[in-house]
């Protein structure tokens, strides 16, 4: 059980990675939408 515990620092870094990926995909989606409109 102990090895499944996540520290707050690990959780924070995981969340930050997820946010970064979301922001990157958002930018990609926006770029594709602009390409479609052009």
pTM for the complete prediction? 0.59
Report how far residue 10's alpha carbon sits from residue 29's, in angstroms, rounded to the nearest whole number: 29
Span 3-31, pLDDT tens digits: 778 899 999 999 999 999 999 999 999 99
Residue with more model confidence, 13 or 1: 13
- CA-to-CA dists, residue 9 to 15, 16, 24, angstroms: 10, 10, 22
């Amino acid at each position: 059980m102990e090895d499944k515990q996540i520290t707050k620092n690990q959780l924070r870094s995981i969340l930050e990675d997820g946010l970064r990926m979301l922001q990157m995909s958002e930018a990609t989606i926006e770029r594709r939408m602009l390409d479609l409109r052009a």
